[in-house]
A and B are shown apart, each in its own frame.
Chain A
Amino acid sequence: MRTTRRTFMRTSLATAAAALLPIPLLAQQGLPIRRPIPSTREEIPIVGLGTWITFNVGDDPALRDECARVMAAFFEAGGRMIDSSPMYGSSQPVVGYGLQKLGRPAALFAAEKVWTSSATAGPAQIEQSRRYWGVPKFDLVQVHNLLTWKPHLQTLFQMKAAGTVRYVGITTSEGRRHDLLEQIMRSEPIDFVQFSYNVVDREAEARLLPLAAERGIAVIVNRPFRQGALTDRLKNRPLPEWAAELGISSWAQLMLKFILSHPAVTVAIPATTRVDHVRENLAAAAGPMPDTAMRQRIAAHVKAL
């Protein structure tokens, strides 16, 4: 869908309203806030579930069950988007195991990636991923880390036209190749873009996030805690007293709220192996969100620690 002035305004206003209202209705009910995917207006909870490293547990039955419990808690708390990739070892079959165990929750928003340097191997890889998940089709397929992006995007656009995937996206991480990503966001009719953004890695605020809002592209944020490094760094520090205004109880929630309060962000996808953490993450998607002044205060405080 191409973005017109009207759709841009509508998206921006809706997103800003969702982000800035102190206690939206959903939050009052304890459910995560939802934001619209700009290209369709379909609403999605603003916290998803990543699977990088955490769901790569191989054939270990105990750890597979642990992942299934995390997924169960995720859906119980109102989550929808689960994101994985063929690059993530056994994460895809582990997600499939969890989905089967949970009776294939209808709420699932299945986000996958295509990750192969071969242009022709893309469709077969996506089909293999679909079998691992055990879903009829993916909601979203993204070109992973911009690898062989031109032919894979064409494949995905064809799949979208044929109705075998609902949304098309592209990803990068850790600040790599933002120039190329920006070029693709300007020139290709993608629905989603995924990149790293957190309280200390804020390069995306300069160009990618405003461009996503301008072009009507949904934003998925990966590495919200720098793969746990930020939460590890801060775990022995006391939360600032003023953080109580946001109704939070942990650094992870404070850092998530920082990300989610950016109006151009659609979903953040923290990964975890723990049920209490997934509940904590979803809880951060409800309740008051920091305003601009509070966002600056959070960033300055974390930077100073």
Chain B
Amino acid sequence: MSEWWTYRPEDFLLFSPRVYWRLFESHNAALWPLHVVTLAAGLAIVLLVAWRPGSLARWVTLILGILWIFVGWSFLWNRYATINWAAVYVAPAFFVEGALLLVASLLNALAFDRRRPADWIGYLIIGFALLGQPLLAPLQGRGWAASEVFGIAPDPTVMATLGILLLARGRLLPLLLPIPVLWCLLSGLTLHTMGEPQAWAPAATLALAAAAWIWATVRQRRSPSPA
């Protein structure tokens, strides 16, 4: 692309906010009442994480992996791509993240067995993704029909995943974090370019996740190492 410095984010926005939000209305109408199942799955994940279940931890990543692949296929590939050709290139990232979560489940590679001082930030993010994000549509006058629901729409699914990964430890974490972080950046930028106030949601999620990670790292370094 020539003279790339002359392009602004608006130049890549192919659709109007109205069309974007109507996508969620159509998507919700097509999938209802699956929302009840995905929300229940989200609440089950919170309970599993909070009870620090040991061997049952693999169910957390199994559920998340299935939902990432489902959202990537149903929303990004089949619906968002109708107004944004770039979604065809983003959907595979959701499939990759889903596959990584399924591998993590298979290997039981994540554990939720330690309490850390910044855990509340992880729970805060998950709580917002499950219960707060669906309220944004009605609060902004778009009605319940356009709500973004965990396991159905990308933003709450990704934000909840970030919250859950903040509570986890395991060797696959460095592989599982980049795609949710990149999606939050992309979604925040898209919403900001559309002039939508809720761009703060993915941006705040990222800021909170970064704060939690820094807090945990600092505390870890300050605490005395075992003899």
Q: Which residues of B contact A53 (CB under 8 A)?
A: 13-16
Pick the interface stretch among A58-66, A104-112, A260-268: A58-66
**A146 closest partner in B (C-beta):** B2
Contact A56 B19 (CB under 8 A): yes
Cβ-defined partner of B22 (8 Å) among A63, A90, A174, A176:
A63
Contact B6 A56 (CB under 8 A): no
**A58 closest partner in B (C-beta):** B82
Contact A89 B82 (CB under 8 A): yes
A204 at interface, CB cutoff 8 A: no
Contact A58 B3 (CB under 8 A): no
Contact B2 A63 (CB under 8 A): no
Contact with A along B1-20 (1 / 0, CB 8 A): 01100100011011110010
Cβ-defined partner of B15 (8 Å) among A89, A146, A175:
A89
Known contacts A56-B14, A60-B26; is-contact A90 B6 (Cβ 8 Å)? no
Q: Which residues of A contact B10 (CB under 8 A)?
A: 227
Cβ-defined partner of A88 (8 Å) among B11, B14, B82:
B14
Contact B83 A58 (CB under 8 A): yes
Given the complex of chains A and B, what is the CA–CA distance between A90 and B16 in angstroms? Answer: 13
A177 at interface, CB cutoff 8 A: yes
Given the complex of chains A and B, what is the CA–CA distance between A98 and B59 in angstroms? Answer: 49
Residues A266-289 near B (CB distance < 8 A): 273
Q: Which residues of A contact B14 (CB under 8 A)?
A: 53, 56, 87-89
Within the complex, what minimum Cβ distance (angstroms) separates A204 from chain B? 16
Contact B15 A176 (CB under 8 A): no
Q: Which residues of B contact A273 (CB under 8 A)?
A: 16
Contact with A along B83-95 (1 / 0, CB 8 A): 1110000000000
Given the complex of chains A and B, what is the CA–CA distance between A56 and B79 in angstroms? Answer: 13
Within the complex, what minimum Cβ distance (angstroms) separates A101 from chain B? 19
Contact with A along B117-132 (1 / 0, CB 8 A): 0000000000000000
Q: Which residues of A contact B26 (CB under 8 A)?
A: 59-60
Q: Which residues of B contact A175 (CB under 8 A)?
A: 6
Q: Which residues of B contact A177 (CB under 8 A)?
A: 2-3
Given the complex of chains A and B, what is the CA–CA distance between A87 and B11 in angstroms? Answer: 11
Contact with B along A177-188 (1 / 0, CB 8 A): 100000000000
**B8 closest partner in A (C-beta):** A174
A57 at interface, CB cutoff 8 A: yes
Contact A89 B85 (CB under 8 A): yes
B145 at interface, CB cutoff 8 A: no
Contact with A along B145-175 (1 / 0, CB 8 A): 0000000000000000000000000000000
Within the complex, what minimum Cβ distance (angstroms) separates B146 from chain A? 13
Q: Which residues of B contact A89 (CB under 8 A)?
A: 14-15, 82-85
Q: Which residues of B contact A155 (CB under 8 A)?
A: none
Given the complex of chains A and B, what is the CA–CA distance between A58 and B14 in angstroms? Answer: 11
A164 at interface, CB cutoff 8 A: no
Contact B83 A57 (CB under 8 A): yes
Known contacts A63-B19, A63-B22; is-contact A176 B3 (Cβ 8 Å)? yes
Q: Which residues of B contact A59 (CB under 8 A)?
A: 26, 82
Known contacts A57-B83, A88-B14; is-contact A174 B6 (Cβ 8 Å)? yes
Contact B2 A54 (CB under 8 A): no
**B22 closest partner in A (C-beta):** A60
Q: Which residues of B contact A174 (CB under 8 A)?
A: 6, 11
Within the complex, what minimum Cβ distance (angstroms) separates A96 from chain B? 14
Q: Which residues of A contact B22 (CB under 8 A)?
A: 60, 63
Within the complex, what minimum Cβ distance (angstroms) separates A95 from chain B? 15
Cβ-defined partner of A56 (8 Å) among B2, B3, B15:
B15
Q: Which residues of A contact B23 (CB under 8 A)?
A: 58, 60
Known contacts A60-B26, A89-B84, A90-B83; is-contact A176 B19 (Cβ 8 Å)? no
Within the complex, what minimum Cβ distance (angstroms) separates B205 from chain A? 27
Residues B22-49 near A (CB distance < 8 A): 22-23, 26
Q: Which residues of A contact B3 (CB under 8 A)?
A: 176-177
**A59 closest partner in B (C-beta):** B82
Q: Which residues of A contact B6 (CB under 8 A)?
A: 174-176
Given the complex of chains A and B, what is the CA–CA distance between A174 and B3 in angstroms? Answer: 12
B interface vs A, CB < 8 Å? 2-3, 6, 10-11, 13-16, 19, 22-23, 26, 79, 82-85
A interface vs B, CB < 8 Å? 53-54, 56-60, 63, 87-90, 146, 174-177, 227, 273
Given contacts A53-B14, A60-B19, A60-B26, 15 further A-B contacts (CB under 8 A): A53-B16, A54-B16, A56-B15, A56-B83, A58-B15, A58-B19, A58-B83, A59-B26, A87-B14, A89-B15, A89-B84, A89-B85, A176-B2, A177-B3, A227-B10
Could you list 6 examples of A-B contacts with CB < 8 Å? A57-B15, A58-B79, A58-B82, A59-B82, A87-B14, A89-B83
Q: Nearest 9 A-B pairs (CB), nearest first?
A: A58-B82, A58-B83, A89-B14, A89-B83, A56-B15, A56-B83, A57-B19, A59-B82, A56-B14
